[in-house]
Chain A
């Protein structure tokens, strides 16, 4: 990587499916320790790009580096150095809270000793010690999402990818979730997050907005609001994504 301050570097990323171009020459960098919002309409190409950045799919062309590793030749190293949380699936319903933690930590190769002590710390911090042996299916959604995030950063990844992490939760839980994101960023974990809540875009250090496979804008929320002359990110998003 040319600039050590950048944890993700994307140059000319193109991904085609047949004659459909899902990612059309994307170029951007994500700085170490920042909260980077990756916004776009449904079908704009966000998921395609995230899958490539996570080492789950190859780009058609372009140069990409994530946490110091190349997405063509070092995909396993990328996977070991990132965390991932999706809204749809994150924890196993038929395992307990403690079992889910042990399972994910084990996959990332943490030792039994480390897993044990960090699990206790984590459950204490989340106030979930008493329900550690409860099945995930019996845990309320808001708690599950906080736990899923904690599990995604349990192995201290360089970057954590969050794909619509706050869908459907109440406004208090949503804010508590963002406080956890802020804490993780303060500890040096880079956060790459997608959301449909435009107020959450304001919590990001910088935001990119994808439209039809291209990055239509990338800046701090303050600068974007100024450039598009609106009071909130919703205004910025509607202007760009609607093309009016």
Chain B
């Protein structure tokens, strides 16, 4: 039996359809990532998962419990880290942690082994008020507070947003340690590069899943030939030139290169001879997650 089972979930706010027929399953001790921009519906989905919001239609089981009917039991087995920093800014690090442990009828000592690796990093600041921690530290404390009652399912809403690249790497290292404890993790992020750290990923946009796959398989949804053009300098100029060509289907900046697809009326050879004539350095590449996401956004 899957640890999380979501079936045909719908949620709307007035005319806005936040969730449109979402279905998926997550196995025990899996890290399931939901990747999508702000407004995709990630937070609505998570709030429903942790029983803080009612769906319009559809069902959700967490560890065999119905999220709507059995909400009070669900809340005992779920650890939730909301997108906005929601700890008490005027309590210290230690006081926050102790508060969350007590609310769940536990204590810091009981489950200390679970948070130890994370907590030792913030312990030097345990007397500091939570409101005065840096971004990365706040996220680590919030993770400790979500874990201190040893939940079976951990729901993390954009835990790395606004966090620098170093702290993001560290944060994902921690999630993999938690997974080893048998805890199921569902996590959302707007950073596409974090897909690689998940066991499976759902790409989400406008209340729908564009697809669910293993991180290594995402590129398979990109079926066209993708060229990477690498000018000596001036990628933006090259981008504009490419877009002005009739055979250009899509061209986007990727760092100092341009990623390009040609339209169906143009043969590969036509493009190759053009690129040679213009002395443009290029190669064929496998699509990355952003290429794929942009392609799926267009067709959805």
B252 beta carbon closer than 8 Å to chain A? yes
Q: Mark B64-86, 1 if CB is under 8 A from A, else 0.
A: 00000000000000000000000
Given contacts A42-B136, A175-B253, A238-B169, whether A170 and B163 have CB atoms under 8 Å apart is no
Which of B61-117 touch A at CB < 8 Å? none
Contacting A at CB under 8 A, from B152-177, are: 158, 161-169
CB distance from A17 to the nearest CB of B (A): 12
Return B61 CB to nearest CB of chain A, in Å. 30
Instruction: Decide: B37 and A141 in contact? CB cutoff 8 A.
Output: yes
Is B263 located at the chain interface by the 8 A CB criterion?
no
In whole angstroms, what is the CA distance A87 to B253 when docked? 22
- Most chain A Cβ neighbours within 10 Å, of B164, B190, B293: B164
B39 in contact with A237 (CB, 8 Å): no
Tell me if A169 and B255 are in contact (CB < 8 A).
no
Q: Tell whether, in the assembled complex, residue B252 and residue A169 are in contact, meaning their CB atoms are under 8 Å apart.
A: no
In the docked arrangement, what's the CA distance between A197 and B192, Å? 10
Chain B proximity mask over A159-189: 1 for CB below 8 Å, otherwise 0? 0000010011111110100110010000000
B255 touches A202 (CB 8 A): yes
B134–A171 touching, CB < 8 Å: no
Residue of B nearest to A40 (CB): B164
Check if B41 is an interface residue, CB within 8 A of chain A: no
Q: Which residue of B lies closest to A185 (CB)?
A: B236
**Interface digits, A130-152 against B, CB 8 Å rule (1 contact, 0 not)?**
00000000001110000000000
A41 within 8 A of B: yes
Nearest-neighbour CB distance to chain A for B274, whole angstroms, equals 23
Contact A173 B164 (CB under 8 A): no
Bound-state CA distance A44–B193 (Å) is 23
Shortest Cβ distance from B195 into chain A, in angstroms?
12
In the complex formed, the residue of B with least CB distance to A243 is B166
Q: Are B294 and A179 in contact (CB under 8 A)?
A: no
> A94 at the A/B interface (Cβ < 8 Å)?
no
Interface presence of B27 (CB below 8 A) = no
| A182 to B163 alpha-carbon distance, docked (Å) | 25
A43 contacts partner chain B, Cβ-Cβ < 8 Å: yes
- Contact assessment for A171 and B256 in the assembled complex, using a CB-CB cutoff below 8 Å: no
Q: Does B166 lie within 8 Å of A238, measured CB to CB? A: yes
- For residue A102, CB closer than 8 A to chain B, the reply is no
CA distance A140 to B1 in the complex (A): 38
The answer on a CB contact under 8 Å between A202 and B294 is no
Given contacts A172-B294, A238-B169, contact A199 B255 (CB under 8 A): yes
Taking CB atoms and an 8 Å cut-off, the chain B residues in 184-226 that contact chain A are 190-193, 205
Residues of the B chain whose Cβ atoms lie less than 8 Å from the Cβ of A123: none
Q: Please tell me if B135 contacts chain A, counting CB pairs below 8 Å.
A: yes
Q: Which residues of B contact A169 (CB under 8 A)?
A: 37-38, 190
A228 to B164, CA, bound (A): 19
The answer to whether A41 and B164 touch across the interface, beta carbons within 8 angstroms, is yes
- Chain A residues with CB under 8 Å of B253's CB are 175, 178-179, 203
Cβ–Cβ < 8 Å partners of A125 in chain B:
none
Q: Across the interface, do A175 and B252 meet the contact criterion of CB distance under 8 Å? A: yes
Q: Is the CB of A167 within 8 A of B161?
A: yes
Do A238 and B39 have beta carbons less than 8 Å apart? no
Whether A168 touches B38, Cβ cut-off 8 Å, given contacts A41-B166, A42-B134, is: yes
Q: A42-B163, A141-B37 are in contact. Are A171 and B255 (CB under 8 A)?
A: no
Chain A residues proximal to chain B, CB less than 8 Å:
40-44, 87, 140-142, 164, 167-173, 175, 178-179, 182, 196-199, 202-203, 221-222, 232-234, 237-238, 241-242
7 contacts between A and B (CB under 8 A): A168-B37, A170-B37, A171-B290, A196-B165, A196-B168, A202-B255, A241-B165
